[in-house]
Amino acid sequence: MKGLLVSVYRYPNADCTNNGLSSTKDNLILVGPGVEGPFLVHPGEDYLVYSESSRGVRATPASLIDSKKWVMFGGNFVYCSDDRFTRLNGGHPIRVFDRVEEWPR
């Protein structure tokens, strides 16, 4: 699978993702419908999946998509200056939904 290499933008010295994927990575690969890019996702490597809904666009770690966990926006964004990225969201940064909270039961 191939996608775009995107940069993670986050507030310095603060992690609102609750140790989400974007809290430790500076660059990630973004894949999904309409995403074209030359960067290969390697086996075992986590990556972001682009999706659109009535609430806007988002990027979610692949490891969380099938986990059945409630994921939230953790405050970080991804961006890329590649022209293929600007076609996805009009050139605006994309919110990363990688915050998960575990509630005691």
Q: For residue range 37-86, list pLDDT tens digits in order.
A: 999 999 999 999 999 988 899 999 999 998 888 899 999 999 999 999 99
Average pLDDT of the residues in 3-12: 95
Dist CA 74 CA 72 (whole Å): 6
pLDDT at 105: 64
Taking the chain, what is the end-to-end CA distance rounded to the nearest angstrom?
A: 38
Residue 104 has pLDDT above 70, yes or no: no
Neighbours of 77 (CB within 10 A): 17
